[in-house]
Amino acid sequence: MSLRLNGVDAAVVAVYLAVVLVLGTLMKRRAAKNLSSYFLGENQLPWWALAMSGSSSYFDITGTMWIVSLFVTMGLKGMWVQWIWGFIIPVFYMAYMGKWIRRSGVMTGSEWMTTRFGDGPAGALARASYTLYAVLTITAFLAYGATGMGKFGAVFLPFSEHTCAILILGVTGLYVIVGGFHGVVLVEIFQTIVLSAGALLIAYLGFRHVTPEALAAKVPTEWHTLTPAWSFDYLAGSEYHLFGALLMVWVVKGLLLSLSGPEQLYDFQRFLAAKNPRDAAKLGALWGAIHTVRWPMAMGLAAMGIVGLAQTGDPEKVLPAVIQDMLPTGIRGVVLAALLSGFLATFNSTVNGGASYIVKDIYHAYLNPKATERQLVLASYVSSALLVILGIAASFAAASIDQMFTWIMGTLGAGVLMPNVLRWYWWRINGWGYAVGSISGMALSLAQALLPAAKLLPLYITFPAIAGAVCIITVVVTLLTRPTEQQVLLHFYNTVQPAGFWGPIAKQVNRPEIPRQFRKDLVNVIIGIPCLIGLWMSPIFLVLHRYDESLFAAAVSAFTAMLLYKTWYQQLPSAEE
């Protein structure tokens, strides 16, 4: 394959990459000050910048290619699949989870385990198990990203998919390694601006290029509706044929994930980096709002691909094919820069977040407890580089984006889901229960991925089987071992202010405002979910020229937003709380 980018498009992309590398490198001195600066920006970054960084980190090319492929294959029903990764989680961040995370005052999700379970043997094992899960998950996400970037780059560069993955991840890994969290956030502010502009441009092009009549001539009637059914004939032969069975798994998984706190482990970092719990709640709300532009962009690309392309054979390549074959010179370069922004944002966050676990929870905790700040920052550079290499290597085993994402979110996620939920809402779960449950879940998830017979099992079998088994293991081990020390639980309850089944601890603390506040938080979740979904669905319908449905979704979002102003925003804690 010959190089297919012309001079103008290549120049636009080159300028964009040069700006990104310069911004990241400029932050090297600030990042190298100490570990807090490298991983949390010394808790001095504004909430809106953290929201832009967090939202753009969800906007990766690989995930967008996957969403476009779902829209191509099943139309609007592709939005139901988004439940698998907890796409409503910004509502939970906004309502209470952001506040809970920030109040813990730690640096990583693994270090949080000590706050929750103490620093004794049980707490240490829980922290070690979470660190293992973090490194495994982040390596899998980097492999997933490399798989997508390989497919994406091979459309434009004269190399194989694996070579493209090595080139793109290797080069762009330089600035995230030296720039630390300051570099990540600064670059991602710039990336969010570029990404949003490019996304809106693509959505507009999709709106202008595709008519309802042209689309209707290319797709079955079921493509146009959100209404689910148990099965769809036009999806026969795909893993989505039994749509209803999968739908139950997606929704349950999404709700449990949203209750459990961040599963994209770099999310913890955004909220821990906020100045205070008030800012953490506000950044959760803005996080979801900024992400709105992703959905009309994905639908615009899918619609253009359906109407304007010959059969690609691989729906995961529709996105790069549309950019290459259907966009004019110059516009193609701008769109490529925007999509690269999405990739880099996710890549930056994943590498920086993953390195924080390796350095803080492995190197500093076990290998070199007396390490100086200089040694810790140097270890951060080495850990970041190691993660990039591992991610690229693991991507060689991936067959498709969908396979990787389904395994990460559906199977590996099932392995730790219930321990992660219980740690927030049930006082009795201890470090032993958490550790044994999550390690068992990781083992079951890896077995499903490696055993030939288990690979063939559908998600509606593997998810409930693994999640159910892990829940039983976690509860049984917890009840057979001693509870966490009272002082640890009292401190956690007083500081983080969680809710749920905390009766014995709540009685000792005697703070009735905590459960009262949680009831208000749950009301905000109920109001916030239709607000967020309406906000995201309205522009999708607009791209498809379905104006009445677009207006209805916008009206739902506006009405619930007005309610949230009263029930949520005006009730936020002060900056000093």
User: How confident is the model over 495-518, as pLDDT tens digits?
Assistant: 999 999 999 999 999 899 999 999
Per-residue pLDDT at 35 exceeds 50: no
Band of pLDDT at residue 149, cut at 50, 70 and 90: confident
List the domain range (segments joined by +) for residue 326. Answer: 7-571
Domain-located, residue 111: yes
Q: What is the CATH number of the domain that holds 337?
A: 1.20.1730.10
DSSP string computed for 231-251: --GGGTTSTTSSHHHHHHHHH
User: By percentage, how much of the chain surpasses pLDDT 90?
Assistant: 46
Q: 230-239: per-residue pLDDT in tens?
A: 888 888 877 8
pLDDT of residue 571: 93
Q: Which of 134-138, 247-251, 453-457 has the lowest mean pLDDT?
A: 453-457
Q: Is the pLDDT of residue 577 over 70?
A: no
The answer to whether residue 549 is domain-embedded is yes
pLDDT above 90: residue 342: no
pLDDT value for 574: 82
Overall domain count for the chain:
1
Flag whether pLDDT at 34 surpasses 70. Answer: no
- Residue 38's pLDDT band, with cuts at 50, 70 and 90, is very low
DSSP output for 334-381: HHHHHHHHHHHHHHHHHHHHHHHHHIIIIIIIII-TT--HHHHHHHHH
- Best-predicted range by mean pLDDT among 28-32, 159-163, 186-190, 436-440? 436-440
d(CA 139, CA 128): 16
Model confidence band, residue 40 (pLDDT cutoffs 50, 70, 90): very low
> What value does the mean pLDDT take over residues 272-277?
87
Given this model, what pLDDT does residue 355 score? 79
Which range in 49-58, 74-83, 318-327, 452-461 is most confidently predicted, on average pLDDT? 74-83
1 belongs to a structural domain: no
User: What average pLDDT is seen over the chain?
Assistant: 85
Whether 84 is covered by a domain: the verdict is: yes
Average pLDDT for residues 416-443, to the nearest whole number? 96
- 7 pLDDT band, cuts 50/70/90, is confident
- What pLDDT is stored for residue 189 in this prediction? 76
Mean pLDDT highest for which of 170-174, 228-232, 281-285?
A: 281-285
Residue 451 in any domain: the answer is yes
Amino acid 184: pLDDT: 54
DSSP readout, 6-53?
-HHHHHHHHHHHHHHHHHHHHTHHHHTS-HHHHHHGGG-S-HHHHHHH
Residue 292, pLDDT above cutoff 60: yes
Does 576 fall in a domain?
no
Stretch 243-260: mean pLDDT: 94
Interatomic CA distance for residues 191 and 170, integer angstroms: 19
CA 69 from centre of chain: 18
Res. 399 pLDDT band, cuts 50 70 90 = low
Q: Work out the average pLDDT over 394-406.
A: 75
Which contacts of 79-82 are long-range, i.e. CB under 8 A and separated by 24 or more positions? 79/226, 79/295, 79/537, 79/540, 80/226, 80/228, 80/243, 80/247, 80/250, 80/251, 81/240, 81/246, 81/250, 82/250, 82/254
Residue 577 lies in a domain: no
Q: Report the SS3 class of residue 511.
A: coil
Average of pLDDT values for 552-564? 98
Q: Minimal CA–CA distance to 517: which of 109, 117, 100, 106?
A: 100
Average pLDDT over residues 72-84: 94
Q: For the purposes of burial, counting CB atoms within 10 Å of the CB of 159, is it exposed (0-12), middle (13-18) or buried (19 or more)?
A: middle
**Is residue 220 within 8 Å of 553, Cβ to Cβ?**
no
- Tokens linked to 66: 């996957």
Residue 29, pLDDT above cutoff 60: no
Mean predicted confidence (pLDDT) in 236-248 = 88
The share of the chain scoring above pLDDT 70, in percent, equals 89
Mean pLDDT of 140-161: 81
pLDDT for 525: 98
Q: Does residue 502 sit within a domain?
A: yes
